[in-house]
Amino acid sequence: MALNYIWLGFFLIAFVVALLRVVGYNLQNQFDWFASTIFDVADHDVFSEIVMSTFDMAEYSVKLSIYLIGVMTLWLGIMRIGEKGGAINALAKVTSPFFVRIFPDIPKNHPAMGSMLMNFCANMLGLDNAATPFGLKAMDQLQELNKDKDTASNSQIMFLVLNTSGLTIIPISIMAYRAAENAANPADVFLPLLMATFFSTLAGLITVSFIQKINLFNKVVIAYIGGLSLIIAGIFTGLKHMQQEQITVFSNFIGNFILFGFIVFFLVLGIRKKLPFFEVFIDGAKEGFTVAIKIIPYLVGMLVGIGVFRASGAFDWIINGIGWFFAFLGFDTQFVDALPTAFMKPLSGSGARGMMVETMRTYGADSFAGRLASVFQGSTETTFYTVAVYYGAISVKNTRYTIGAGLIADLAGAIAAILIMYWLTNIGFFGG
């Protein structure tokens, strides 16, 4: 529902802004209050730019989708091997002791626990198509335990907030889009994205635990959170003590090594399960082809809407206003160009994806804004969409503080992404 209004808003706001620019250009010499604003021929020709942008962005959307066919086909084939090989079950065994303690209202060995763990693990591996069925099944099972069927239970809220915080290990689609935009190293956002999504998830967990009075100082919970925190702190400390040349080598190595390591891990699990590798790969690859084809209408619609909005000058007005505000406060404003992705992500995954692609196309995939937009895209989930789908499936009307807690996690992820990107850039993590 929100996406409908957002998309409509792109066109209506673009029309109003463009009309103001044309009127201002034609009347600037007749009224003193117009004379204080500088208009030029670009303002007079703004409607031509808007119409041209619709054709340009439609063509670009299809070209991008064609490129994604190959990438998505390859990686969803690989992911299917991991899924059939038991990668999700392996992760579930590792995380089970932790999740048992943050969902105290769920009886021991209740089937909802397994469905939730499968959902989390599938999300970590980037298996969106597998994660959603597990998530919906978990919500249905949690609803059986819910005494007030119209109101979200504590367990449902914790599950959804952790779900929307978007903890991701393998951001395949983001790297695919970066590759399509000719990024020198599409995987160089892997580490900052992992860090940002960790802080987002941690913020969501702390927020809900505080409200629900869940003891996060339990030794098992501390062991899991402390372990992850030590890993993140270790990465920060290690990078801080590296020379710039070493950091550049490390950044080029680590993301690709971990990604290929997962491929090998999936294959080893497949060997253990005696899978028919090629047949399983083809089965997943077919899904990748279908997914890539299905997104063409959504990509065309969203990118055209964004292109119209940007061509009208409305985008520049908003960004310049925010940039002026932070500049007035004395802050660096490089991050402002990537903010549209952060603003859109809680509302719409496809909308945020379109913003990310448009940012990379405008400023370059390897620009600060291009990389930061990629990290914004991967550090959180679509809070409003997820809440609508998951609660809608079980007819829950009162979501209580789910959206508020989810947005706190989103905000924490965005702030962490900005700070991490500035730090990594300053120490030379991305080279140059």
DSSP letters for 342-380: HHHTTT-HHHHHHHHHHHHHHH-TTSHHHHHHHHHHHHS
Distance, in Å, from the CA atom of 246 to the CA atom of 330, rounded to the nearest integer, reads 32
pTM > 0.75: yes or no = no
Lowest-pLDDT range of 44-48, 272-276, 409-413, 427-431: 427-431
Q: Are 369 and 359 in contact (CB under 8 A)?
A: yes
CB atoms within 10 A of CB 400: 15
- The 10s digit of each residue's pLDDT in 76-131 is 788 788 778 887 667 667 777 888 889 988 887 777 877 787 777 767 765 555 56
Output the six-digit token pair for 32.
């003193």
**Max CA separation in the chain (angstroms):** 81
More confident residue, 46 or 380: 46
Distance, in Å, from the CA atom of 71 to the CA atom of 77, rounded to the nearest integer, reads 10
- The 10s digit of each residue's pLDDT in 47-73 is 999 999 899 888 888 887 787 787 778
Q: Are 73 and 267 in contact (CB under 8 A)?
A: no
- The 10s digit of each residue's pLDDT in 362-411 is 999 999 999 999 999 888 777 877 787 788 888 888 889 998 899 899 99
